[in-house]
Amino acid sequence: MPGAQTIMLKPSRSVSPASKHVLATRARDMRLFATEPERLLWRELCGGRLGVSFRRQVVLGNRYIADFVAPSLRLVVEVDGGIHARRCTADARRDRDLARLDYQVLRVPAQLVTHDLPAALASVRAAVEALRH
């Protein structure tokens, strides 16, 4: 056709409303059905007990659900169970993606939370203090 133009569209990087809804629903379910290590750690993080407010099962970057987030410090705390031993590459990619969003990720082994909660809390407290200064 004379005068016709071809318009090239960039691939969209946005997330569909349906995908956002799926993530939000999944995060809600994860809050309702938390693992035992997540419940133990949440009891210590909730209510600003470490001097900073944490939220749990938070959607970040329209792609990931973080176990715990201190929004004011942009700190993500992940409780890693046994499956994470087989997910090293995926976890590293996720950590890099979250770092691009200016989040620092602290991974705490679920075994540590279950068997030595004070040591797990010391790790979180150290990360909180490091980011405050």
pLDDT tens digits along 1-14: 344 433 333 333 44
- The token pair that represents 64 in the structure block: 């990931």
Residue 96, beta-bridge partner list? none
DSSP secondary structure letter of residue 55: E
Task: Give the residue with greater pLDDT, 62 vs 128.
Answer: 128
Separation of alpha carbons 23 and 61, rounded Å: 11
- The token pair that represents 21 in the structure block: 């809804």
The pLDDT of residue 130 is above 60: yes
- What would the mean pLDDT of 49-63 be, rounded to a whole number? 92
Collapse the DSSP code of 103 into the 3-class scheme (helix H, G, I; strand E, B; otherwise coil) and give the result. Answer: coil
- What would the mean pLDDT of 75-86 be, rounded to a whole number? 80
Q: Which of 60-74, 79-93, 94-108 shows the lowest mean pLDDT across its residues? A: 79-93
Separation of alpha carbons 127 and 71, rounded Å: 13
pLDDT at 86: 63
**Does CATH place domain 35-132 in 3.40.960.10?**
yes
**What is this structure's pTM?**
0.81
Domain boundaries, the chain: 35-132
- The token pair that represents 84 in the structure block: 């994470």
**Percentage of residues in the chain with pLDDT exceeding 90?**
58
